[in-house]
Amino acid sequence: MADMPLTAPAVKPENPNFSSGPCAKRPGWTIQALADALTGRSHRAKIAKARIQEAIDLTRSLLEVPADYRIGIVPASDTGAVEMFMWSALGARGVDMLAWESFGAGWVTDVQKQLKLSDVRVFEAPYGELPDLAQVDFKRDVVFTWNGTTSGVRVPNADWIPADREGLTICDATSAAFAQKLDFAKLDVVTFSWQKALGGEGAHGILILSPRAVERLESYKPDRPLPKIFRMTKGGKLIEGIFKAETINTPSMLCIEDAIDAMKWGASIGGLSAMQARADANFKVLADWVAKTDWVDFLAKQADQRSNTSVCLSIVDAEIAALDADGQAAFAKAIVARLDKLGVGYDFGSYKDAPAGLRIWAGSTVEADDLAKLTPWLDWAFAQEKAALKAAA
């Protein structure tokens, strides 16, 4: 690689938002996209329920969800959606938990320390790797993240999941939905939030249930109290209204409007395949830069496991890698802070529990051209911070 640039690049990204959630708005978004939001109206009003149902219908159409799967809008983002099902349905049989980053580890904590289930197996891998998926027993329920948002490691496909499984597959797909191919035939529970690949606002989760998941809810009564916002059955039957625009608690009609706008944009550019293609093209911009850059590398070790949304990068320059963990973290944060101050790029530092480095969102609402403009600035900021480090030595 050529010597690091000492002169700042001339051109900044048009949109400097590279956060992994809430993520960049769709191209061309302005606040006027929310002009028709039903603010001040009851979410129980006929017109408001129709708008909520439109969001559900657009989800089914754009994400290509099977017709017999239920889709509900639930409280507390993706976290709420995952915990809602775990609290309601786990314990009917043994559970295999997969964890290779912070959110998967969080679900393990929930199951072991909060639900205190007795028959739990945990398969873990360090940041940058997947656990051995061949160890999973599908006679048991299985909980996993499709895309590790804080590690940049994803499952490459659903081939490891059998079609004739006995247990349920519970998939946290929050940074994968709309950007990676989800095989719904292999998934019984799918959760995500609008704040990721749709660039939507926080606080709302999406819960998608297969017929097998519904059967579990109707046939199994857990021996634990359930908060009101977790209750999906009454008298042994699914509360269908939850999946027909009658939300458990009050949704934000501004957020509903914003999600509708984002999904209409996705449909307008060619639907799911086009959104996935944009994310792949964005990832390629970063991958091409990494290939020619000797100070940075992917945290994910295997190419087919690298996320095309939450792209996690390690600083592998020998002098920086020789620093202790605090020094490495400070160096990475200094790069982010320098570019933040200049308005070049915001919020692209690694997650607080992850190894020190960078995490750049590359989902479809980001423009490839902005990523291409960002990378020279990353080289420049690295050079500036390394020079400052040497000067201070």
Last residue of a domain, one of 267, 289, 314: 267
Other beta carbons within 10 angstroms of residue 18's beta carbon come to 26
Clarify whether residues 64 and 101 are in a common domain.
yes
Residue 10: inside a domain: no
Per-residue pLDDT tens over the stretch 5-43: 779 999 999 999 999 999 999 999 999 999 999 999 999
User: CA gyration radius for the chain?
Assistant: 22
Percent composition of the chain: helix, strand, coil (DSSP 3-state, to 5): 40, 15, 45
CA angle, corner 376, sides to 330 and 387, nearest 5? Answer: 45
Report the b/e string of 79-110 with b at 16+ CB within 10 A. bbbbbbbbbbbbbeebbbbbbbbbbbbbbbeb
Residue 263: inside a domain: yes
Clarify whether residues 238 and 278 are in a common domain.
no
**Alpha-carbon span 361 to 176, nearest angstrom:** 12
Q: What is the mean pLDDT of the chain?
A: 97
User: Which residues fall within 8 angstroms of residue 67, CB to CB, at 6 or more apart?
Assistant: 60
Last residue of a domain, one of 230, 251, 267: 267
Q: Which domain holds residue 331?
A: 270-392
Residue 373: inside a domain: yes
The CATH number of whichever domain residue 380 belongs to comes to 3.90.1150.10
pLDDT band for 3, please (50, 70, 90 cuts): low
Does the pLDDT of residue 2 top 60, yes or no? Answer: no
Clarify whether residues 157 and 274 are in a common domain.
no
Clarify whether residues 101 and 217 are in a common domain.
yes
**Alpha-carbon span 62 to 40, nearest angstrom:** 28
Residue 12: inside a domain: no
Does the pLDDT of residue 1 top 60, yes or no? Answer: no
**Alpha-carbon span 34 to 274, nearest angstrom:** 24
Cα 277 to the center of its chain, rounded Å: 17
Does the pLDDT of residue 317 top 90, yes or no? Answer: yes
Clarify whether residues 169 and 102 are in a common domain.
yes
- Quote the number of domains for the chain: 2
Clarify whether residues 261 and 283 are in a common domain.
no
Residue 6: inside a domain: no
User: Which residues fall within 8 angstroms of residue 171, CB to CB, at 6 or more apart?
Assistant: 144, 145, 146, 182, 187, 189, 190, 191
Clarify whether residues 164 and 306 are in a common domain.
no
**Alpha-carbon span 28 to 19, nearest angstrom:** 18
Per-residue pLDDT tens over the stretch 60-77: 999 999 999 999 999 999
Per-residue pLDDT tens over the stretch 89-121: 999 999 999 999 999 999 999 999 999 999 999
Residue 92: inside a domain: yes
The closest alpha carbon to 81, from 205, 257, 175, belongs to 205
CA angle, corner 126, sides to 134 and 106, nearest 5? Answer: 90
Question: Could you tell me the two tokens for 209?
Answer: 């249930």
Residue 168 · residue 297 · CB < 8 Å: no
Per-residue pLDDT tens over the stretch 168-185: 999 999 999 999 999 999
Residue 343 · residue 16 · CB < 8 Å: yes
Residue 186 · residue 167 · CB < 8 Å: no
Question: Could you tell me the two tokens for 146?
Answer: 């499709």
Clarify whether residues 113 and 260 are in a common domain.
yes
Residue 304: inside a domain: yes
In angstroms, the Cα distances linking 15 to 19, 23, 139 are 11, 11, 47
- Which residues pair with residue 207 across a beta bridge? 72, 191
Other beta carbons within 10 angstroms of residue 8's beta carbon come to 13
The CATH number of whichever domain residue 57 belongs to comes to 3.40.640.10
The count of C-alpha atoms lying within 13 angstroms of the C-alpha of 292, restricted to the half-sphere facing its C-beta, is 12
Clarify whether residues 198 and 282 are in a common domain.
no
pLDDT band for 393, please (50, 70, 90 cuts): confident
Clarify whether residues 64 and 150 are in a common domain.
yes
Last residue of a domain, one of 267, 300, 318: 267
Clarify whether residues 195 and 260 are in a common domain.
yes
Clarify whether residues 199 and 211 are in a common domain.
yes
Residue 77: inside a domain: yes
